[in-house]
Amino acid sequence: MPFLWNAWYVAALACEVNSNRPLARTLLGEAVVLYRDQAGQAVALSDRCPHRFAPLHRGRIHQGELECPYHGLRFDGSGHCVHNPHGDGRIPPAAHVRSFPLQERYGMVWIWMGEPQHAAQTDLLPFEYLNPEHNVTASGYLRTRAHYQLSADNLLDLSHFQFLHPATLGSEQMSAGACTFFEQGETVWSRRIMHNEKLQDFVANAFGVAPGSNADRRLDVQWNAPGLLTIEVGVTPSGMPPEFGRMSLSGHFLTPETDRSTHYFFAFGLPKAMGEAAGALVEYAVQGLMEPFKNEDLPMLEAQQKALGDSDFWSAQPVSLAMDGAALRSRRIMERKIAEEQRASGMRQTTTVIDSTAIMH
Amino acid sequence: MPFLWNAWYVAALACEVNSNRPLARTLLGEAVVLYRDQAGQAVALSDRCPHRFAPLHRGRIHQGELECPYHGLRFDGSGHCVHNPHGDGRIPPAAHVRSFPLQERYGMVWIWMGEPQHAAQTDLLPFEYLNPEHNVTASGYLRTRAHYQLSADNLLDLSHFQFLHPATLGSEQMSAGACTFFEQGETVWSRRIMHNEKLQDFVANAFGVAPGSNADRRLDVQWNAPGLLTIEVGVTPSGMPPEFGRMSLSGHFLTPETDRSTHYFFAFGLPKAMGEAAGALVEYAVQGLMEPFKNEDLPMLEAQQKALGDSDFWSAQPVSLAMDGAALRSRRIMERKIAEEQRASGMRQTTTVIDSTAIMH
Amino acid sequence: MPFLWNAWYVAALACEVNSNRPLARTLLGEAVVLYRDQAGQAVALSDRCPHRFAPLHRGRIHQGELECPYHGLRFDGSGHCVHNPHGDGRIPPAAHVRSFPLQERYGMVWIWMGEPQHAAQTDLLPFEYLNPEHNVTASGYLRTRAHYQLSADNLLDLSHFQFLHPATLGSEQMSAGACTFFEQGETVWSRRIMHNEKLQDFVANAFGVAPGSNADRRLDVQWNAPGLLTIEVGVTPSGMPPEFGRMSLSGHFLTPETDRSTHYFFAFGLPKAMGEAAGALVEYAVQGLMEPFKNEDLPMLEAQQKALGDSDFWSAQPVSLAMDGAALRSRRIMERKIAEEQRASGMRQTTTVIDSTAIMH
C-alpha cells in the first residue's frame, strides 16, 4: 500500500537535530538530512547531492549552509546551491535539492513529505501535554522493522498486555476489563477499564499506589491519522475517591521509514507546576516503557512483519476478534485517506497531461 | 523444481520435541511449530497465528495446548482455536491453523506435508536398526544451505572421500575400489568395495582394526525417495575370515528446509544385545562423522549451491562421470515422482474447477 | 550498462598469484581462479568444475595442474581435464573449463575476458615506469563496492581533494589552481596546477619540501579505456628553478568485479638508478595513499553506489559542473566503445543465425 504523503510526520526528536552534525534519516522511503541553521531553525533536505549523489549528511554545516562532503557545493535551507568553490563558481540552475516543510512543536521536528503547497493549509494536531512551555517532557525513540500500521495496531490493542507484557504492563485482571471503541471523523478511541487490579510494580510505582494495594485502572488510547496517538492512563487506588487518582499522558508517533520499517517516537509530559517531581516521573515512565517496548513489542512486531513478508495485511487473511475493533477502524481510515490521495494525485496528473496536450496544439 | 509433497519427511529428532519449549522449524518452505501434548504425543502446527500472524513457537504450552504469545489464543493438537481469553470468549470459525500428520519412529518425528488424506495410506520405510526397542542409537543434525538433492548426491557418491575427506574417511586405496550401482523400483544402491585398505585412524578405531593393519572395506548406500538413506559399512581386517568383520548401519535423512537449504538428520544404531559397548560405539560414530560432515561436506555443498545460484541443476549443464550413476538414478526418480504429483494435483484442480462451474449454472 | 569485454584488465598483482594456493577472484561478473604452473606461468581458469560446480580454487595445484577439491579431476592451464582418478579414468569430451588469455607485465597479471581471438591483436598500453626491469615498484589493492566508472570519475577529478582529503592530499590553495582537460583518440587528460601551495605533511615529505615551505604542484591524470590511469605529480618548492622539482608516477587500474564493485590496483615506480631511496619512497607513497583511499574515497564511492542503487548513472540525472570535464569525456568514450562492441557482437550473432538457417534448408 502506498504511503499517505500529505500529512505531518515526526522526523526527529528536537534534541536529535543540531547545527554541528547533520542527521540522516529515511522517511517514507526517502533519504532526508536534518540540521539547524544559524538561527537554530531546523532544515530538512534531500540527502543526496544533485551533482554526484554524495550523501549530504556527511558534510559540514557552514554558516547555516550544508556543504557536500565530496566537492564542497553548499546548499541553503531552501535547498538551493549557493556556493560552487570551483573554477568560475558558476552554479547550474538545476543544482538544488528538495527542501521539506518543517515545524518544530511538542519537542519534535515535524516534516511534510507530500505536496508542499498543502503543508501550510494543514494544521498539526494538538498535543498540549507535550508543549515544553508549560510541561516537563521526556522522550524515547525506537526503530522497528515492521510496517507502521502493525505498530498502530499494537498501540490501539489493550488486550495483549497480559500475554506479551505479563511482568511489566499486564495483569491477570485485565481480561475482565471491558473494552470499548469509538470513532469520530478521523479519530479512533480504544478504552479499557479494570477494577480492583493488582498492578505490576512498575505501574504501581509510577502512579503512587502503595505496594500490595489494588487499584482501578483506565486506559484510553486516541489514534489519529497517519499514526499519531495519545495514551491516557488513569489509576485510582481501589475504594478511594477519584480525586486520589493520578493520570498520565503520553504521545506515540509513528513515521514510516520504509514500507517495512517504522520510526517510533514517544514522549511523556507533566505540568511544570508539579515541580521537581515531574521531571523524575516522566523520565521514569520513558525508561520503564522502553524495556517492554524494546524486548517484548518490538520482537513481536518484527516477527509479524517477517511472517507477512511481501504480503499485504489483508491478503494474509487475518482472522479478527472483537478486541481488534479500534485497530481495524484506524486501518480503514488510513486506507480511505490513501485511496483519496491517490485518486486526487491521479486526477492532477490527468489534468496536467490534458493541459500539455492543449499547449501542443 | 517443486518439492515432493506427499511423502514422510523427518521433521525433528524425537529428543528435540518436548512439552516445555515449542520447536520452530521451516519444512518444505513452510513455518511449522512442533511440541508434545500432555500425553507426550508430538504435534505439528502451522507456526503462525491466524489472528495477527504471531509466531506460535514463542508461546507457552498450556495443558497440551499452544498459546499464542501475543493475545493468548490457544490451539489444540488438531489446530483448532479452543480458547479466546478476551471479551465474551467467542471463537471465530476461521480461527484454526493447519495441523500436520505426524508419526514418531526410529527416534525421529516424521511429518506429512502433503495432502493429509494420503498420509495414512503411505507406509513409512523400515529402518529397524534404529528401532529404540531393540537398539541403542545416537543421532546428529546439521542444517545445510544447499538443495537436498546435492546432499543426496554427496551421500550416494563413494568417490569423493579421498579428495574431500583425505584425513578422516578417505584413503589412497579407495580409487582402486570397484563401484557398482543398481536400481529397483524406487530404491537406488551405490556400492564400493576396497581391498587391503589403509584406513584412517577414526575408521580403524570404529571397526576395531589394529593400528597399522590393513582391512577390506565395503560401503553400501541405499537411497529411497524423497531422501532417506541407509549406509552400511563392513570392515574386515585383511586376510581374516568374514566372521572377524564388523558392520555399521546408519540412517541419513534429508528434509528440504527451503529450495536452497536442507535439514540433515543422521543416526547410528547397534543392538542392545551388544551391551555397554554399543552406546559408546554409536556415540563415537556420530561424533566422528560430525567433523568431516561439518567441516568438509557442508562447505562444499554450500559452495555448489552458491555456484548454482538461481539456476536449476540441469540448466547448469553438469558433465557427468561413470561414478555419478547412483546419484543420477536418484535424481531421475525424484523428478519422475514430482512430475507425477504435479500432474495429479493439476488434474484434481481441473476437476474442482469443472465442479464449481457446474454449480454456477 | 554491459561491460567492455575485449580489453586487457588487471586480474591480480603478480605477487598475489602463486603455485601453492589458487587465488579466487570475480572479474566482470565471472568467477575466475588464478595460479602458476610449474614453469611459473600464470594461469586463469573458470573457477567452477564442469562436473558438479565445485569451486576449483579450493583444490590443490598438482604439478602445474589444478585439482578439483571434490572429486579430484585435474585441469591443465588450457582448461582441459587431463586426469580422472575414478574407474577407467575416461574423460568426457565436455570436461573442460574456460581458460583466459593472460600476460604478466608491470608487476601485474593482465587478463582478457572477451573473445580470445582478439587478445593477441590488442597491445597492452605501456606503463614503463612500472617495468620491474628498470624500476623499483610498490603496489596496493582495494576492493570497492561501487561501479568502476565512479572510481574513474574520482581519479580524474582534481577538485575533491580539499573537501574529501583535507588533512592528507588537499590544500586550501587547490581551488585556485587552474583545471584543464583534453582528449585525443581514446585518451583523456586532466590537469591542475597550483602555485604557492601549503602542502599537507604527507605530500611535502614525499616530495622533499622543507617543513613550512610552500610549493608549486602540478597534477596530471591520464585515463585510457577501460580504466587504466597514470597520475603524474610534479612538485617544486616555490621560487626554486624547475630542476629542484621532484616527480612521481603512479598507475591506477580499475577492473570491474561486478556491475557494482571494482578491483582497484595501484602502484608506484621509481628508477632503480635512484638507489636505495627509491624503495623507501614508493613504499611511503603506497602506504600514504592507502589511508585516504580507504578511509575517504572508498566510503564516498560506496555511498554514491548506494544512492544510485539499481539506477544507471544518467537516469539519476546528475547535474554536472565544469570540473567534471575529464570524467565525462572518459564516460563517453567507454559508452561509445561498449556500444560498438555490442553492435559487433550482435552482428556476429546475426551472421551465425543466418548461417544456421542456411544449413537448415
The helix/strand/coil state of C252 is strand
Counting residues of chain B whose pLDDT is more than 90, the rounded percentage is: 82
Q: Do C111 and C44 form a contact (C-beta atoms < 8 A)?
A: yes
Interface check for A176 against chain B (CB to CB < 8 A): the answer is no
Decide which of C207 and C242 is more confident: C207
What's the pLDDT at B350?
A: 63
User: CA C120 to CA A334: how far, in whole Å?
Assistant: 66
What's the pLDDT at C351?
A: 60
Tell me how close the Cα of B7 comes to any Cα of chain C, in angstroms.
27
Please check the confidence at residue B317 and state whether its pLDDT lies above 90: yes
Interface check for B348 against chain A (CB to CB < 8 A): the answer is no
Is residue C357 in some structural domain?
no
Tell me how close the Cα of C72 comes to any Cα of chain A, in angstroms.
43
What's the pLDDT at C347?
A: 75
* CATH code (residue A64): 2.102.10.10
A133-185 pLDDT tens trace: 999 999 999 999 999 999 999 999 999 998 999 888 888 888 888 889 999 99
Please check the confidence at residue C352 and state whether its pLDDT lies above 60: no
Which residues of chain B make contact with A318, given a CB cutoff of 8 A? Answer: 50-53
Averaged pLDDT for residues C8-15: 98
Interface check for A163 against chain B (CB to CB < 8 A): the answer is yes
Is residue C359 in some structural domain?
no
Same domain? For A148 and A259 the reply is yes
B290-301 pLDDT tens trace: 999 999 999 999
Residue in A48, A69, A86 nearest the CB of C321: A86
Cβ distance A71 to C153 less than 8 Å, yes or no, reads no
Is residue C141 in some structural domain?
yes
What's the pLDDT at A29?
A: 97
Same domain? For B48 and B156 the reply is no
Which residues of chain A make contact with B92, given a CB cutoff of 8 A? Answer: 319-321
Bridge partners, C99 (sequence order):
C45
Tell me how close the Cα of C54 comes to any Cα of chain B, in angstroms.
6
Output phi, psi for A63, to 5 deg.
50, 45
Please check the confidence at residue C168 and state whether its pLDDT lies above 90: no
Q: Of C83, C86, C88, C90, which to mutate for an interface test with B (greatest number of B Cβ within 10 Å)?
A: C86
Interface check for B29 against chain A (CB to CB < 8 A): the answer is no
Counting residues of chain B whose pLDDT is more than 70, the rounded percentage is: 96
Q: Do C148 and C299 form a contact (C-beta atoms < 8 A)?
A: no
- Least confident window among A161-175, C96-110, C340-354: C340-354
Decide which of B243 and A32 is more confident: A32
Average pLDDT, chain C: 93
Is residue C349 in some structural domain?
no
Same domain? For A59 and A133 the reply is no
Please check the confidence at residue B348 and state whether its pLDDT lies above 80: no
C273-327 pLDDT tens trace: 998 889 999 999 999 999 999 999 999 999 999 999 989 999 999 999 999 999 9
Per-residue pLDDT band for C95 (boundaries 50, 70, 90) equals very high
Q: Chains with ≥3 Cβ pairs under 8 A against A? A: B, C
Q: Of A321, A324, A328, A331, which to mutate for an interface test with B (greatest number of B Cβ within 10 Å)?
A: A321
- Give the structural domain span for A33: 8-118
Is residue B344 in some structural domain?
no
- A187-206 residues touching C, CB cutoff 8 A: none
* CATH code (residue B175): 3.90.380.10
Its ipTM equals 0.92
Its pTM stands at: 0.92
Q: Chains with ≥3 Cβ pairs under 8 A against C? A: A, B
Tell me how close the Cα of B180 comes to any Cα of chain C, in angstroms.
10
For residue A21, which of A33, A6, A7 has the smallest C-alpha distance? A33
Per-residue pLDDT band for B272 (boundaries 50, 70, 90) equals very high
Same domain? For C186 and C298 the reply is yes
Q: How many domains does chain B have?
A: 2
Same domain? For C52 and C159 the reply is no
What's the pLDDT at B361?
A: 40
Average pLDDT, chain B: 93
Q: What is the dihedral of CA C295, C297, C302, C308, to 10 degrees?
A: 150
Interface check for C65 against chain B (CB to CB < 8 A): the answer is no
What's the pLDDT at C1?
A: 84
Averaged pLDDT for residues C327-352: 89
Counting residues of chain A whose pLDDT is more than 90, the rounded percentage is: 82
Same domain? For B82 and B37 the reply is yes
- Least confident window among A338-352, B341-355, C160-174, C267-281: B341-355
B73-118 pLDDT tens trace: 999 999 999 999 988 899 999 999 999 999 999 999 999 999 999 9
User: CA A238 to CA A235: how far, in whole Å?
Assistant: 9
Same domain? For A76 and A198 the reply is no
Cβ distance C71 to B303 less than 8 Å, yes or no, reads no
Q: From edge to edge, which strands make up the β-sheet containing C261-271?
A: C135-144, C261-271, C246-258, C228-237, C215-224, C187-197, C178-184
Interface check for B175 against chain C (CB to CB < 8 A): the answer is yes
DSSP code per residue over C328-341: HHHHHHHHHHHHHH
Tell me how close the Cα of A245 comes to any Cα of chain C, in angstroms.
53
Interface check for A54 against chain B (CB to CB < 8 A): the answer is no
What's the pLDDT at A243?
A: 84
Is residue C146 in some structural domain?
yes
Please check the confidence at residue B320 and state whether its pLDDT lies above 70: yes
First to last CA, chain C: 37
C222-256 pLDDT tens trace: 999 999 999 999 999 998 888 889 999 999 999 99
Asked, as a colleague might, if the bond just before A226 is cis with ω within 30 of 0, I would say: yes
Strands (E) in B79-177, as ranges, are: 81-83, 102-105, 108-112, 135-144
Amino acid type, C236: T
Q: What residues contact residue B233 under an 8 Å CB cut-off, 6+ apart? A: B207, B217, B218, B219, B220, B247, B248, B250
B203-241 burial, b if ≥16 CB within 10 A, otherwise e? bbebbebeeeebbbbbbbbbbbbbbbbbbebbbbbeeee
Domain end: C66, C92, C118, which one? Answer: C118
Same domain? For C38 and C151 the reply is no
The helix/strand/coil state of A230 is strand
In order of A303, B158, B330, the CA distances from B145 in angstroms are 22, 22, 20
Cβ distance A54 to C300 less than 8 Å, yes or no, reads yes
Interface check for A309 against chain B (CB to CB < 8 A): the answer is no
Same domain? For B137 and B247 the reply is yes
Cβ distance A87 to C179 less than 8 Å, yes or no, reads yes
What's the pLDDT at B359?
A: 42
Domain end: B93, B118, B143, which one? Answer: B118
Is residue A341 in some structural domain?
no
Interface check for C72 against chain B (CB to CB < 8 A): the answer is yes
Interface check for B74 against chain A (CB to CB < 8 A): the answer is no
Q: What residues contact residue B103 under an 8 Å CB cut-off, 6+ apart? A: B8, B109, B110, B124
Interface check for B5 against chain A (CB to CB < 8 A): the answer is no
Q: What is the full per-residue pLDDT of chain A (361 aa) written as tens digits?
A: 899 999 999 999 999 999 999 999 999 999 999 999 999 999 999 999 999 999 999 999 999 999 999 999 999 999 999 999 988 899 999 999 999 999 999 999 999 999 999 999 999 999 999 999 999 999 999 999 999 999 999 999 999 998 999 888 888 888 888 889 999 999 999 999 999 999 888 888 889 898 888 999 999 999 999 999 999 999 999 988 888 899 999 999 999 999 999 999 999 999 999 988 899 999 999 999 999 999 999 999 999 999 999 899 999 999 999 999 999 999 999 999 999 999 998 877 666 555 444 444 4
Q: Chains with ≥3 Cβ pairs under 8 A against B? A: A, C
Is residue C123 in some structural domain?
no
What's the pLDDT at C210?
A: 87
Tell me how close the Cα of A30 comes to any Cα of chain B, in angstroms.
29
Same domain? For A279 and A313 the reply is yes
Counting residues of chain C whose pLDDT is more than 70, the rounded percentage is: 96
Please check the confidence at residue C170 and state whether its pLDDT lies above 90: no
Same domain? For B108 and B170 the reply is no
Same domain? For B250 and B169 the reply is yes
Cβ distance A179 to B86 less than 8 Å, yes or no, reads yes
Q: Is the dihedral of CA A280, A281, A286, A292 positive or negative?
A: positive
Please check the confidence at residue C260 and state whether its pLDDT lies above 50: yes
B209-231 pLDDT tens trace: 888 889 999 999 999 999 999 99
Tell me how close the Cα of C233 comes to any Cα of chain A, in angstroms.
20
Averaged pLDDT for residues C66-90: 95
Q: What residues contact residue A83 under an 8 Å CB cut-off, 6+ apart? A: A65, A67, A72, A73, A74, A89, A91
What's the pLDDT at A56?
A: 98
